[in-house]
Amino acid sequence: MATNQQRREAAKRKLERQLARRAERAKRRKIIGVGVTVGVVVVAAGLIVVLTSQSGDGDAAEQASPSSGAAPSSQQIDIPTQRVQPAQRPQPLPDPVSCEYKPGGEAAKQVEPPNGENVPSSGTVDLTLHSTAGDIPLTLDRSLAPCTVNSFVSLAEQDYYTDTSCHRLGTTGLQMLQCGDPTGQGSGGPGYTFADETFDQLTYGRGILAMANSGPDTNGSQFFMVYGEAPLSPDYTVFGTISDEGLTVLDKIARAGDDGSFEPSPGGGKPNMEVRFTGVTVGA
């Protein structure tokens, strides 16, 4: 029969074995836990690599976020270098013409509608948009769209475009920069509308300046500047051209990319490079 001393020693050995087994199990659990954690990190890292590498055309590691404060990097986009021929009406308009500017929508910025009487339909107007991205000189053609030119000059002289930003950039399919909405959302206008000045022979492409609209005869203040391809039907009033200097600025803006906020429709997004008009000069 075991003595009390022997029983105590046996109990002690049993306890030691139990503690050893518990320690071993705890050690194994710790190793397994770290292994699972590492596996999750590896999988997550793999997903990050896949998603980032598919997020743009350039080197994903070098593309700056619009809100990062870093200068946006260049995108590899195909921009035509050849300008298209300026538009020309098949038949000239009467000179002068009368224009009707109808009340329409709430004005995003208070201005007076232009005078629509005796509007000239011949000659051109030189105008420069001064922006944070660079100067964009334009030539407005009264023979193409006298009522549009009359409105655009009136808005410029009333500082409607000053301190407004371009809200939409397209880099694929339709390559253009859309501006003219003081709200920066794409829905603002001057509080009046006017009729289209289009014709069937209109085409669009690099160097063309045209009005944006939301349907027939809904022109207001928004316009778009085409720096590349523009496979559009002749539903948008063309009222001038963009200088070579201005196209260089637009190319730079385009290569900085957009944030995709207008995808999938109407396409494109807010330019990564801010384009804010600091002033407009009308005339030489």
CATH code where residue 233 lies: 2.40.100.10
Q: Do residue 232 and residue 130 come from a single domain?
A: yes
Q: Do residue 38 and residue 93 come from a single domain?
A: no
Sign for the CA dihedral angle at 221, 243, 260, 174 comes to positive
Q: Is 141 helix (H, G, I), strand (E, B) or coil?
A: strand
Measure the CA–CA gap between 171 and 229, rounded to whole angstroms: 9
* 71 domain residue, yes or no: no
Residues β-bridged to residue 169? 177, 269
Q: Do residue 145 and residue 262 come from a single domain?
A: yes
* 25 domain residue, yes or no: yes
* 65 domain residue, yes or no: no
Q: Do residue 25 and residue 105 come from a single domain?
A: no
Helix locations, 225-280, DSSP H: 244-255
Q: What is this structure's pTM?
A: 0.74
| pLDDT at site 11 | 59
Q: Do residue 85 and residue 46 come from a single domain?
A: no
Decide: 186 and 105 in contact? Cβ < 8 Å. Answer: no
| pLDDT at site 192 | 98
| Domain carrying residue 14 | 1-54
Measure the CA–CA gap between 117 and 272, rounded to whole angstroms: 41
Q: Do residue 265 and residue 152 come from a single domain?
A: yes
Q: Measuring CA to CA, which residue among 283, 186, 197, 177 is closest to residue 239?
A: 197
Helix locations, the chain, DSSP H: 4-53, 146-157, 244-255
* 68 domain residue, yes or no: no
Q: Do residue 23 and residue 147 come from a single domain?
A: no
| pLDDT at site 189 | 97
Residues of the chain with pLDDT under 50: 25-71, 73
Measure the CA–CA gap between 212 and 235, rounded to whole angstroms: 9
Q: Do residue 93 and residue 222 come from a single domain?
A: yes
- What is the DSSP-derived secondary structure letter of residue 225? E
* 62 domain residue, yes or no: no
* 64 domain residue, yes or no: no
Decide: 277 and 165 in contact? Cβ < 8 Å. Answer: yes
| pLDDT at site 275 | 98
The phi and psi torsions of 278 (rounded to 5 degrees) equal: -95, -10
Q: Measuring CA to CA, which residue among 57, 61, 53 is closest to residue 258?
A: 57
* 174 domain residue, yes or no: yes
Q: Do residue 160 and residue 282 come from a single domain?
A: yes
| pLDDT at site 197 | 98
The number of folded domains in the chain is 2
Q: Do residue 281 and residue 210 come from a single domain?
A: yes
* 169 domain residue, yes or no: yes
Q: Do residue 41 and residue 102 come from a single domain?
A: no
| pLDDT at site 17 | 64
Q: Do residue 37 and residue 157 come from a single domain?
A: no
Decide: 240 and 141 in contact? Cβ < 8 Å. Answer: yes
| pLDDT at site 250 | 98
The phi and psi torsions of 176 (rounded to 5 degrees) equal: -155, 165
